[in-house]
Amino acid sequence: MHTVERLIVIVLFEGVDLLDVTGPPEVFSLARRETEDAAGYHVVLAAETTAPTVTAAGVRILPDVTFDELANRSIDTLVVPGAVEVDGHRRVHALVDPAVVERVGQLAPRTRRVTSVCVGAHILAASGLLDGKRATTHWSTAQQLAADHPAIEVDSDPIFIREGNVWTGAGISACLDLSLALIAEDLGEAVALRVARQLVMYLKRPGGQSQFSVPLEQVAATRRIEVLRHYILRHITEPLTVAHLADHAHVSERQLTRIFKNELGTTPHAYIESVRVERARNQLEATDATLERIATACGFGTVDTLVRAFRRRLDTTPTDYRRRFRTSSAEH
């Protein structure tokens, strides 16, 4: 069987996220194994020089080639990983090195398809490759991407998005889902499914490829909102009306709503629901409790309310979520 070489180039730079770099090669390697090398994937790590690159995890990686050495080569898939920094308030910011942006801009025209992993989307955005397109990134930097690049339609929910020959992926581990999708495009669903089985993964996650994240870690600037958040956690099974919370905080209902909007960017009701969904997710993953018990323990009251919240927040049902993400066989 004639094998067509598919050159996969993964961009390296200082401070890059380690799993962004190591995840895709593992998936492509399994595709080669499952097809007895007929997949033709040849993965190389490219950097400015061949000196070791220090990742965000502190692990050093040795590049295979320099960017200049790729100048005259046709690339099948360009994989652009990301890097972040966390400030003193635990806020996550995507890092974009202009030199890396320039190199990606040089390589992209000679590439059949360009992909980003996690916050690597910010590098594609800075190179202009996402202008006028819909794109995703890790939910923690989605607002930054939208603010920095108004020409991009940012959707933080999907695990990956394809727009023509440009693919963007979400959270770090979603690089595996994205790689499986690329294999499915190249070699068909059957091969991708065999690789997914080797990875002990589902070929397609439920919920419209949702990232399944409820961002509860917004940083509050005032002690009052932190007190309210802790109060909500301690009394999650109770009704928790806006009037009740306002009374606890010694403010009017209108002022309470304004505080939540300014501090957390959401309403009290939406925040409470997100906390309840997050707690329900944890119980679905780690226990065998019935939906009735989970609905009660998380303050939903009824299973119908629990189901509606899951559909609204995660675009799936509690039953489907548990089927795919349960991690324990703990007793009731």
- Express each pLDDT in 137-158 by its tens digit: 998 899 999 999 999 999 887 7
Q: What is residue 55's predicted lDDT score, i.e. its pLDDT?
A: 97
Q: 45 - beta bridge partners? A: 10
pLDDT band at residue 77 using 50, 70 and 90 as cut-offs: very high
Checking if the pLDDT of 309 tops 90, the result is yes
Checking if the pLDDT of 205 tops 50, the result is no
pLDDT band at residue 202 using 50, 70 and 90 as cut-offs: low
Q: What is residue 37's predicted lDDT score, i.e. its pLDDT?
A: 85
Contact 94, 148 (CB under 8 A): no
Checking if the pLDDT of 200 tops 70, the result is no
Query: Nearest-CA neighbor of 225 among 241, 248, 203, 243?
Result: 248
pTM of the predicted model as reported, rounded to 2 decimal places: 0.65
Q: What is residue 157's predicted lDDT score, i.e. its pLDDT?
A: 74
- What does the pLDDT look like over 249-307, one tens digit per residue? 889 999 999 988 888 888 999 999 999 998 898 888 778 999 999 999 999 999 999 99
Q: What is residue 146's predicted lDDT score, i.e. its pLDDT?
A: 95
Checking if the pLDDT of 329 tops 50, the result is no
Query: Nearest-CA neighbor of 281 among 312, 305, 317?
Result: 317
Rounded to an integer, the average pLDDT of 90-119 is 95
Q: What is residue 3's predicted lDDT score, i.e. its pLDDT?
A: 65
CB neighbours of residue 4 within 10 Å: 9
Checking if the pLDDT of 314 tops 70, the result is yes
Q: What is residue 2's predicted lDDT score, i.e. its pLDDT?
A: 55
Cβ-based burial of 171 (10 A; exposed 0-12, middle 13-18, buried ≥19): buried
What is the spatial distance between Cα 55 and Cα 165, in angstroms, rounded to a whole number?
A: 28
Looking at every residue in the chain, the average pLDDT score rounds to 87
